[in-house]
Structure 1
Amino acid sequence: MKEAGLNGTKGKIITSTYLNFTDAKSLEKIKTFENIDMKIFMTDEQQIGFHTKAYIFEYDDFYKIFIGSSNITQSAMKSNVEWNVEVVLKRDDDFVKEVLEKYEALWDQSSKVDESFIQTYRALLNELKNKFDHHHLSIAENHKYVVPNAMQRRAVDNLDRLRKFGETKGLVIAATGTGKTYMSAFDVRNVKPKRLLFVVHREEVLRKAKETFETILINQPGSFGYLTGTKKDFNADYLFANIHTLSKHYLKFQPRDFDYIIYDEAHHVTSPIFQDVINYFDPEFTLGMTATPERSDGQNVFDLFDQNVALEVRLHEALEEELIIPFHYFGVTDIGSVDLSDIDVDDIAEVTKRLKVNERVDFIIENLEFYSHDNEKRKCVGFCVSRDHAAYMAEEFNKRGYTTAALDGNDSSLKRSEHINRLEDDHDPLSIIFTVDIFNEGIDIPSINTVLMLRPTNSPIVFIQQLGRGLRKHPDKEFLTVLDFIGNHNKTFLIALALRGNRYYDKDSLKVAIATDFANIPGNTHIQLDKISQERILAQIDAENFYSMKYLKQEYFEFKHLNNGKTPLYLMDYMKYDGSPDPIKFIEKEKTYLNFVAKVEKDEQLKLLLYHDKFERVLKDLSSMLPLKRVYEFIILRYLMNHQEISMEKAREEILKVVDDVATDSIYHAFEYLNHAFFDRVQRSNKEKLCELHEDTLIRTETFRTLLETSSEFNRYIEDVLDYGIFRYSHYFDRTDYGIPHFKLYEQYKMVDAAHLSNYRKIHSSFRGQGLLVNGNDYFLFVDLHKEATIKDSINYNDKFIDRQTFQWETPNSTKQSSERGENIIFNNKHDIRLHLFVRKYKEIEKNKSEPYIYIGKGDVVDYSGEQPIQVMLRLEHEVPSQLYVEFTEKV
């Protein structure tokens, strides 16, 4: 509406009071647009309902009319099942004339929306709301209807499976606000322990945790109590304890007093205050829950829970499963007088100085008022670059009539709680808290409906953490409004990495995401960058080489900075934050992650470690398999780190701890692979064999055993690669058994993966390049859409998507229709041939950097023509997701 007004376009809107569905705040907002006339159809006065949804757009020589079921709401426009039809007709068409006549007739019957009407209507809505709320409170809650969401069900199932395999520990990683406490209560209800200990780092969350458990365990026997500075219910069956108090009194209990112990915010358990408690108690099961499994004090939170990650749910999955609320993100180009182009954004003092501009404060307020917020009261957190910046923003906003405050990590818990309570209070004028130190866990305000990003984004991790502060579900909000003031610093494009949400990315996919307003974001989330920000980010992406050593070093050192300045020596360090860089790129650059770290850190000790030839070769071999597309080999090797041999039966048992099912032939194929059965002569001479296959048993080689016993550091780094491979596989592939071939739809694959994942029993290195490869009845079609990465217009139009479920493909030039291979292709269904389609847009995404293929699934030939080559039309088994289809077909 604003852009239409700037272009001189006017409009008319008719809404109604039907079912009191329209809200007063929306009417008030539309009234602010001078180019929009608005009337309201009073259903009580007309004695008829008004259920019309029609959108009419007038052009110079035609009309475009949409008629259907969509209201102007985020869910109707984005995620509901709605039916709408688009009609495009010339101006003099009879249908157009009839529609316009009906519209004008309704316009004449409708009333003007003025301030008096809005106030009366708002009062009516509030009265109805108060009646509803009162009625709702009078109904006793029926606890049997409190049921787990999708994430909670998966976590409880996976924890149950771990226990069946004899495991005594589990870790759940899930974004803030996704319901981890409820999940743990559902698991406790499932296990039914006699005594439970729930341990937290911050006392503020204890009360809510206890209430949650009392809700879920309503019919179970047992008393509930606290162990805090002020309350000590030592004999309670379900004890909720603050770690600071527990650490002083844990010796009052016996080590096996508790059957089940839960550590909330489990990333803290590596700290000394937790260690005495953890080492003292010996429960039947221990559960850790965290949003960020960060390492501290040189210890790994994954190790403390025996690497048993029952579930990992990050931001995009949480949005997809509606565990958190959607957000409306607006990227607004910052004012021209704030110039950050010539400074390092890590220079906090200089950035603060340049952001403290009165004109910028006015600009922020102007946008804050324009984009508004959900619900009546604004409850906003503004993220600043420093304490000085936060204090300045609060002072300037207060001068302009707002009630705001500044908070940072140095403020007392009491002060933080006081301000949070005020912000959450609908009747308190405090509407904005400006804050810094975003890692401070004290800032957790469920009812936040607005986030201001007032500092330059120099890390996807920080961006996601700031965003996450407002995504917790709350009855008073349907969505979070996010205003990001985008400056001209040289790392603006990192916003695109954070919003896209994929660990792997390339220039083209990022550019398409920006051009389509990040259409891949699930649910009702809306992202919009203004034109200047879009162009600025696109230009930076074009200029950047994401695989250059310069860029990789910047990524690495930014991550190290967020790691409290500690060198991230392990791949598992990169699993702790949503938005972490992908360490696979570091591996691809220097063959192993350790080599990369040794090089960029100029670490002579690490270099010395890598002089051990066998150790470096093993590290290279294992690293070359990352990221895993099949997890069996790493699970087997992980077991062999502590055992001399592994049988088929034992391998199955270990594999089933990670996946739901596995074929016997695939286990044996993994044994053969580890025995180097499918390597060519050059590979065998360059690779270190870790296992020997004797009948149905895989035995650890002397080399492997000696290597592990030579140095605890060798042991630790090999274990890290294996753990990372398994953990990352679990995150991307979950527990699903993909069968044979082991392909997941829309996952990335190299050609050699097809041999590995289809249990091909010949030399795998023959699977190179592009084209057609065959293993029995499985035909693998590897297709490049653009034949030259540098010339974007040179598309091979013979290999292309016709629509989201149809693909046109040309066979190799030598293929005749009458040949056995030709007949197998064109009559694939009849001959029981499975055609698997793999597609990539470009062969190279950067200079000398090949792009992987994406598995599109199986397809059947429905039409064919021509000879040498044969042109076939494939009907795909699955319709390609719209965003992926756009990526393949869109040029930016």
Structure 2
Amino acid sequence: MEQETVFIRNQGGVTVLSDLLQSLDQCEGFCFTVAFMTFGGVQLLVQKLSELEQRGIYGRVLTSTYQQFSEPKAIEKLQSFKNIEVRLYDQVIEGGLHAKGYLFMKGELVEVYIGSSNLTTSALKENIEWNVKLTKSKSDVMVEDVLSDYELLWEAAGSLTKEKLEKYKASYQRFKAFERESLLEVEDALLLPSEVRPNLMQQAAMKRLNSLRQRGEKKALVIAATGTGKTYMSAFDVSQVKPRKLLFVVHREEILRSAKVTFEKVMGDCNISMGLYTGNVKEIEADYLFATVQTMSRYYEQYPRDYFDYVIIDEAHHVGGQSYQKLLDYFTPKFLLGMTATPERCDDFNIFDCFDGHVALEVRLREALEENLIVPFHYFGIRDIEGVNLSDVKLDQIHEITKRLKVNERVNFILEQMQLFGYDGEYRKAIGFCVSVEHAEYMTQKFNEAGVVSACLTGNHSPEERQVIIQRLEDDQDPLEVIFTVDIFNEGVDIPSINLVLMLRPTQSPIIFIQQLGRGLRKQENKEFLTVLDFIGNHHKSFLTAIALNGDRFYDKDSLKVAVSTGFPDIPGDSFIILDSISKEQILTQLESENFNSMAYLRETYQEFKRMNRGQTPYMLSDYLKYEGAPDPVSFIKKEKTYLNFVAKVEQDSFLLSLLGADEFVKVVREWSGQLPLRRPYEFILLNYLMRHPEVMHLDLEMAIKEVLKYVDAVCEESVLHALQCLGQVYYDTGEVSQYLKLFECLGQTIVVLPVFNQLRHAPHFKPYLEDVLMYGLVRYQEEFGTNDYGLPFFKLYESYTMKEVAKLANYDKKHSAFRGSGLLTYQNDFFLFVDLHKEEDIKESINYQDQFISADKFQWQSPNATTQDSERGQKIIHNKEKGINLHLFVRKFKKIDGEVQPYIYIGRGNTIHAEGNKPITIQMELEHKIPAALYREFNYKV
């Protein structure tokens, strides 16, 4: 059946790759012609090409030698398929080949796909590409012309002999060598030390650090993955502060020398002396001193307390150690900066508290990919062999899982898949993550027997033994290809050359998954991407992989289902996630049946996090901020009103149970916990200030504004006054007044501390838990909202809000619990439109065709049933712009998911462009902000 012409580009979650994979899946034969191809581009098709090989579907691929761009490795990979013939068009023959076309045969029909896309990773996802796809009969004149032209080119290229390919490979290698030499010459000429420039991540950190200092703060923490440029960032910040004396403290001497070189590059010739302070070298007269903690902790008293203006603690996750605490207790710098890639390694020590809760920057995996700070990855989810059955085992039954994974057939399958997917670069540098030491030793033995040189590293090996093996893997002349390990490489290990990660164990935790993935993402010269092969078994928690890949701690089930169904198109940059059809279906089925709000699920999630926390009970909410991929503790709060209640119930902890017997403490913790996650930080900022300054007995508007400005770029006086009134329970209803404890008396523009709050903040057994709620709220707020002033009402586009939160953020001056209803709520010149796109969780039965997105920038909304066009309210809605009325649109897909009421997503303001009907009025509005493709897809996608 002939189809309409379709315009295909990398937009709206539909990529050139996703469309090509769909066409390959449905075809009976195919012909490609591309000017360029790379191994990365071809690798993304191999899973589908392998399926076509098994089905006997024949294909032809024509590429060119133009500018020696096509990678020989890509050509060889395609040649490895028995069902594919590749030919190489030499431009010397007759003109250069620039055509890009993909032809798919379907009986008497041909799907013709012609445009700008070559077979490269960027073209398949990121580049601005224009392609036109149409399906026509073979007898169609245009199709006949295309097929005829293809045959002429195919014949002109001739068979790709071994000699012809070897000749091209030699030419390609010569060209690449010349390219590298030219690039080095340019870099030598241009990249002078004085011209080193901060990237966007570093600029954001510098801005935040400068703002904190201007507001009188003296400490801050930066959290960013290995390889994202934390040391450069610190050097750039020092160059803007220009301290007289600097101390840079690290744990290992090799990092110290590298840091000193970085500072010299950034600072250039600025008449500042830099020196080392180690066991062997003591250049104590230097202005900027780079010291190991071991040496400095022995001789620190030789310096006055205020000697250093700026102190930097690298690898700040070690600050809980005695050596670091000596230095932090002694020195009184004007500013203290901590930097870490792994805050989770702090054991019982609260790293956030050590730096007064000020996180100047947090760069997690998704942000690092967006900013191109790490290499992209190609993730392939591969269904494990049928002979391995994990459906009836729990993920903590390590011995049993090990026994079931030690199967020769599985080893052969893993080797086959490694051969199929390949890797970027000339040499394979792989890490295989196993379920146990026994499993790692087994895999090492079997790989060596198969001729793949491998080594095993576990916690049983000394640091020196580990370093020897790591150096062997890094050495291109060493035959070692694979290191099998358990958990020792999850974090804190830097092996830049890794180009292949093997996930050989069931995903037990999103935290572990992200840590293991991160081992291969460090940038290195000539390294374009990381290949990840994940062997997904049939265990009942396969969906944890989807949670990890979705890259968001705060998710709901529906958004996960959409991400899995559409191939995670929102993963940034040139990263790709491809699940085979069986794994995808299994994960979707599990997501559908799992209730994320059930006590059983929450208990299991908590216990897994506890195992990640070295088996120690995570008493604090801030523990969850340390780990990327950690569960959202707010889900525990929603279940039991407070996090402490949840932990006490799960652990039957006698200390917590006694603590929770204090009624006044419980009421306060419950009230504060109920405000998480924060949508406006002002109240928590002021509470945090009062908790940390127990001598302060009242807080006026001027002081409150000053404190708030330590966290945000700007704030209006009206909003801070409203926050003070909220703290004084001015807008509480009678139920809330009886449920919670009054801590402050609001007197005009001042709040006065009441005795009960004063007692609680002085109580050593209560204070840590109260401060923890505030700390968690503020640090998480910084993660999600940054320091921006979102105006009034204080709404961030595409964030989620409840009706009660909307009232607070609009500075609503009546009881906030009264701000509820359906459809439309108003306050002054702001009209708030609340829309449920689907009335029930069953999307097929519940679509609301009256309230719907017409396009990404237009929305149709139906007013409350009693509204007429000639009423005052109707006129304000219809002529909102002329009458100065702001129409704020809030949308949610479902009212409830797994029985839990869902918040609304703020879509922004809209303006009426058409109205018809009465009681209700059907309004069409143009949105002031075009909704992002990912969110538009999620609202409209039917799983």
Category of TM-score, reference length = shorter chain: over 0.9
Return the offset for 1:206. Answer: 2.8
1:390–1:223 Cα change, 3 Å = farther
* 1:9 corresponds to 2:57: yes
Among residues 777, 792, 798, which one is paired with 1:740 in the alignment? 792
* 1:482 corresponds to 2:529: no
Higher mean C-alpha deviation, range 721-730 or range 319-328: 319-328
1:441–1:532 Cα change, 3 Å = closer
Higher mean C-alpha deviation, range 697-706 or range 568-577: 697-706
Q: Residue type matched to 2:797 in 1? A: L
Among residues 720, 732, 740, which one is paired with 1:687 in the alignment? 740
Query: 2:154 — aligned with what?
Result: 107
Q: Residue type matched to 1:659 in 2? A: V
Instruction: State TM-score, norm by structure 1.
Output: 0.97
For structure 1, the 5+ residue unaligned runs are: none
Among residues 133, 143, 146, which one is paired with 2:196 in the alignment? 146
Q: Residue type matched to 2:528 in 1? A: E
Query: 1:265 — aligned with what?
Result: 315
What's the secondary structure of 1:659's corresponding residue?
Answer: coil
Query: 1:573 — aligned with what?
Result: 623
After TM superposition, the structure 1 = structure 2 runs for residues 685-834 of structure 1, keeping only pairs within 5 Å, are 685-709=738-762, 711-790=763-842, 792-834=844-886
Among residues 108, 118, 122, which one is paired with 2:165 in the alignment? 118
Q: Residue type matched to 1:470 in 2? A: G
Q: For the Cα contact (< 8 Å) 2:474–2:495, is it kept in 1?
A: yes
Return the offset for 1:61. Answer: 4.1
Among residues 86, 94, 103, which one is paired with 1:38 in the alignment? 86
* 1:29 corresponds to 2:82: no
Q: For the Cα contact (< 8 Å) 1:13–1:38, is it kept in 2?
A: yes
Query: 1:663 — aligned with what?
Result: 716
Return the offset for 1:243. Answer: 2.2
Q: Distance in 2 between matches of 1:523 and 1:388?
A: 38
Q: Residue type matched to 1:809 in 2? A: W
Q: Residue type matched to 1:723 in 2? A: M
Return the offset for 1:649. Answer: 1.6
Q: Residue type matched to 1:388 in 2? A: E
Query: 2:432 — aligned with what?
Result: 382
Higher mean C-alpha deviation, range 516-525 or range 97-106: 97-106
Q: For the Cα contact (< 8 Å) 1:383–1:438, is it kept in 2?
A: no
Query: 2:136 — aligned with what?
Result: 89
1:754–1:442 Cα change, 3 Å = closer
Q: Distance in 2 between matches of 1:422 and 1:380?
A: 12
Return the offset for 1:18. Answer: 0.8
Query: 2:510 — aligned with what?
Result: 460
Among residues 642, 662, 666, which one is paired with 1:612 in the alignment? 662
Return the offset for 1:330. Answer: 0.6
1:562–1:439 Cα change, 3 Å = farther
Q: Residue type matched to 2:789 in 1? A: D
Q: For the Cα contact (< 8 Å) 1:592–1:619, is it kept in 2?
A: yes
Query: 2:916 — aligned with what?
Result: 865
Query: 2:20 — aligned with what?
Result: none
Q: For the Cα contact (< 8 Å) 1:416–1:443, is it kept in 2?
A: no
Return the offset for 1:232. Answer: 3.4
Return the offset for 1:440. Answer: 6.3
Higher mean C-alpha deviation, range 224-233 or range 690-699: 224-233
Query: 1:447 — aligned with what?
Result: 497
Return the offset for 1:108. Answer: 2.0
Q: Distance in 1 between matches of 2:275 and 2:420?
A: 48
1:297–1:843 Cα change, 3 Å = closer
CA offset digits 1:3-57 (Å, max 9, x no partner): 33333322222111111111110011011122222211111333x3322222222
Higher mean C-alpha deviation, range 722-731 or range 289-298: 289-298
CA offset digits 1:297-323 (Å, max 9, x no partner): 532111111111111121112222222
Among residues 107, 110, 134, which one is paired with 1:63 in the alignment? 110
Return the offset for 1:295. Answer: 6.6
What's the secondary structure of 1:225's corresponding residue?
Answer: strand
1:211–1:115 Cα change, 3 Å = farther
CA offset digits 1:712-744 (Å, max 9, x no partner): 121111111111111111110011111011111
Higher mean C-alpha deviation, range 731-740 or range 431-440: 431-440
Q: Distance in 2 between matches of 1:234 and 1:114?
A: 67
Higher mean C-alpha deviation, range 99-108 or range 780-789: 99-108
Aligned-CA RMSD value:
1.8
Q: For the Cα contact (< 8 Å) 1:294–1:301, is it kept in 2?
A: no
Among residues 493, 498, 506, which one is paired with 2:548 in the alignment? 498
1:229–1:333 Cα change, 3 Å = farther
For structure 2, the 5+ residue unaligned runs are: 1-48
Q: Distance in 1 between matches of 2:99 and 2:664?
A: 74
Q: For the Cα contact (< 8 Å) 1:406–1:433, is it kept in 2?
A: yes
Q: For the Cα contact (< 8 Å) 1:14–1:40, is it kept in 2?
A: yes
Query: 1:511 — aligned with what?
Result: 561
Query: 2:398 — aligned with what?
Result: 348
Q: For the Cα contact (< 8 Å) 2:226–2:494, is it kept in 1?
A: no
After TM superposition, the structure 1 = structure 2 runs for residues 271-282 of structure 1, keeping only pairs within 5 Å, are 271-282=321-332
Q: For the Cα contact (< 8 Å) 1:409–1:440, is it kept in 2?
A: no
Query: 2:67 — aligned with what?
Result: 19
Return the offset for 1:790. Answer: 4.3
Higher mean C-alpha deviation, range 18-27 or range 208-217: 208-217
Q: For the Cα contact (< 8 Å) 2:381–2:536, is it kept in 1?
A: yes
* 1:843 corresponds to 2:898: no
Q: Distance in 1 between matches of 2:501 and 2:345?
A: 28
Query: 2:119 — aligned with what?
Result: 72
Q: Residue type matched to 1:639 in 2? A: Y
Q: Distance in 1 between matches of 2:352 and 2:834?
A: 38
What's the secondary structure of 1:874's corresponding residue?
Answer: strand
What's the secondary structure of 1:859's corresponding residue?
Answer: strand
After TM superposition, the structure 1 = structure 2 runs for residues 383-422 of structure 1, keeping only pairs within 5 Å, are 383-422=433-472
Q: Residue type matched to 2:451 in 1? A: G
Q: Distance in 1 between matches of 2:877 and 2:679?
A: 27
1:770–1:7 Cα change, 3 Å = farther
What's the secondary structure of 1:14's corresponding residue?
Answer: strand
Higher mean C-alpha deviation, range 378-387 or range 622-631: 378-387
Q: Residue type matched to 1:258 in 2? A: F
Fraction of identical pairs, as percent: 53
Query: 1:653 — aligned with what?
Result: 706
Higher mean C-alpha deviation, range 9-18 or range 361-370: 9-18
What's the secondary structure of 2:438's corresponding residue?
Answer: helix
1:597–1:265 Cα change, 3 Å = same
Return the offset for 1:769. Answer: 4.3
Q: Distance in 1 between matches of 2:660 and 2:914?
A: 56
Return the offset for 1:510. Answer: 1.4
Q: Distance in 2 between matches of 1:363 and 1:872?
A: 58
Q: Distance in 2 between matches of 1:441 and 1:624?
A: 33
CA offset digits 1:766-797 (Å, max 9, x no partner): 22243111111111111111112246422121
Q: Distance in 1 between matches of 2:135 and 2:144?
A: 13
